Structures are given as structure tokens and as C-alpha cells.
Amino acid sequence: MKRFIVVCLFLLVLILTACSSLAQPTATPIPTPTLTVAPTRTATSTPTSTPLPPTETPAVASEWEGIPIMPGAVAGDGDEEGYVFTIQATPQQIQEYYELELGKLGWAASVQGAGNDSLILTFTKDASVMITVSIIAKGGEALVLLVK
């Protein structure tokens, strides 16, 4: 019986050895190289600034209905009822100009109203004629409206 156990052990070792030698390691997959296309630059147009043809700035009158227009005024326009222009000035500079210039012509400042970025000046002459100077400021520019 000893012999039988030894033979069985021998066969078992032989089978295990045979099985382990038959076992092949599994292959590790190797990635296949692929062709990657690199992006190429496409020609693009670069915008260029094309100068615009010169435009004529409307002439600004030096006065309207006997009322002086502040020097430096641009884009002025008006009729017999009012005149409007823009200027690069502060409301305070415009107020000082009209108080001085209209004062020289006999106009007296009678009422003044102020708001955020706006100012209304009222001038009278001979108690029968009145003019208002409305000023609306935005940024470094002001819109001035003269109304008789």
C-alpha cells in the first residue's frame, strides 16, 4: 500500500508538472499604431481698416436768433423755435459761458434747475422775452438746446 501511495503521489506530481508546462502565458495586447493627422493652419484674412471718405461736418452758426453759440460747438441745427448743438464741455463751463455772454447782451438769469448730468438755465430780457438753455451731459460731451 505504501507503494500505491507513492505511485499516486508520483502521478499527481507528474500531472501537475505537465499541466503547468503546457500553460502558456497569455499575450498582452500591444496597441496598434494609428495615423493621427495633425491640424494644418488655414489661411485667414486679416481685417484691415479702410479709411472712410471724409464727411462734411455741418457748419455750426456763430449765433442763433441773436443768441451766441458757444465756440467749439459741433453738429448744430435749428429753426426759428430752437437750436441744438453738441460740444465737448462740462455743464458748468456751458453755464459760465452763457451767463457771461448773455449778460453782456442784457439778458438776466432768472431761474436755474439742476439734475443728474443736466442743467436748465432761464434768461429774461425786458420782462417780455425769455430763453432757456438746456444742457444734458454724457461722458465728456454735452447736448445744448436753446429755445426762445
> Is 110 inside any structural domain?
yes
> Is 139 inside any structural domain?
yes
DSSP secondary structure of 69-133:
PPTT-EEEEE-SSEEEEEESS-HHHHHHHHHHHHHHTT-EEEEEEEETTEEEEEEEETTTEEEEE
> Is 140 inside any structural domain?
yes
> Is 111 inside any structural domain?
yes
How many structural domains is the chain composed of?
1
**Which is more confidently placed, 20 or 109?**
109
pLDDT tens digits for range 127-140: 788 999 999 998 88
pLDDT tens digits for range 41-85: 766 666 666 665 555 555 667 889 899 999 999 989 999 999 999
pLDDT tens digits for range 78-105: 999 999 999 999 999 999 999 999 999 9
CA angle 97, 61, 143 (to 5 degrees): 55
Q: Could you give the dihedral angle defined by the CA atoms of residues 98, 103, 106 and 110, in that order, rounded to the nearest 10 degrees? A: 80
Contact 143, 119 (CB under 8 A): no
Which 3 state secondary structure label does DSSP give 37?
coil
Full-model pTM? 0.59
> Is 4 inside any structural domain?
no
> Is 89 inside any structural domain?
yes
With a CB cutoff of 8 Å and minimum separation 6, the contacts of 69 are 60, 61, 62, 63, 76, 83, 85, 146
Range of the domain at 92: 63-147
pLDDT tens digits for range 8-24: 444 444 444 445 544 55
> Is 96 inside any structural domain?
yes
Contact 72, 88 (CB under 8 A): yes
d(CA 130, CA 124): 4
> Is 8 inside any structural domain?
no
- Sequence-separated contacts (24+) of 17-24 with Cβ below 8 Å: none
